[in-house]
Amino acid sequence: MDGNCNYSMYLQPGQAKPHLKLEPRKGFLSTKSKLAPCAPLWKWLALSPADQDRFICIYPAYLNNKKTIAEGKHIPLNKSVENPAATEIQDVCLAVGLNAFLEKNKMYSREWNRDVQCGGRVWAQLKQEDGSLCLVEFPSRNSVMLYAEEMIPKLNTRTQKTGGGDQSLQQGEGSKKGKGKKKK
């Protein structure tokens, strides 16, 4: 588009041709950004790596083995976890020493189930102010997700859930004995 277009169909008689000013394509930043929502991408890259706008974002759907790739899973099926919670991901990140914080009221865009347990997202810092890695073991987003899926099954909350589930099944079976015959 060079600005030499025919605008006569849009102009009223005697109206001057508008001046076109083309701008470079603009990127998108989050609402918590210090920059304008449509600031150019190069301004985002100029931010410090320690700024919260440069943290990585991890949704629980990325690690869920019940999701498909189309539904947002990022980890292979044999390595993923069953229904991880955002709080569990945050606990793993904090335990290993990453600077992480949780946004409970946020939902993954591909998540059809708007349940509170499925919600939330975790922001984790990978790089320090000078651009060096916070932890050498985690050079990328994928390495953090692989570590989280490895450690979530080992959390105390996960091991306690499996132990308590057997007792509730046994109690449920005992209550079924008192049922009568079916009515026709």
Q: Cα–Cα distance between 115 and 127 in angstroms, integer? A: 32
Place of tokens 């990978």: 126
Mean pLDDT of the chain: 73
Give per-residue burial for 83-118: e unless 16+ CB within 10 Å, then b.
ebbbbbbbbbbeebebebebeeeebbeebeeeeeeb
137 phi and psi angles, rounded to 5 deg: -70, -20
Q: Cα–Cα distance between 145 and 142 in angstroms, integer? A: 5
Pairing relation of β-strands 56-58 and 121-124? antiparallel
60 φ/ψ sector (left φ>0, alpha ψ -120 to 50, else beta): alpha
pLDDT at 74: 81
Most confidently modeled range among 65-69, 106-110, 111-115: 65-69
> Higher model confidence: residue 17 or residue 141?
141
Counting every residue, how long is the chain?
Answer: 184
3-state secondary structure of 166: helix
> Higher model confidence: residue 146 or residue 74?
146
Q: Which of 5-14, 24-33, 39-48, 97-106 has the lowest mean pLDDT?
A: 24-33
Task: Delimit the domains of the chain by residue range.
Answer: 52-159
Average pLDDT value for residue range 52-67: 84
Beta carbons within 10 angstroms of residue 163's beta carbon: 8
> Higher model confidence: residue 107 or residue 136?
136
Q: Cβ(53)–Cβ(30) under 8 Å?
A: yes
Q: Which CATH architecture has domain 52-159?
A: 2-Layer Sandwich (3.30)
Q: Cβ(143)–Cβ(135) under 8 Å?
A: no
pLDDT at 175: 52
Average pLDDT value for residue range 157-174: 58
pLDDT at 73: 80
Tokens at 84, concatenated = 């991880």
pLDDT category at 1 given cuts 50, 70, 90 is very low
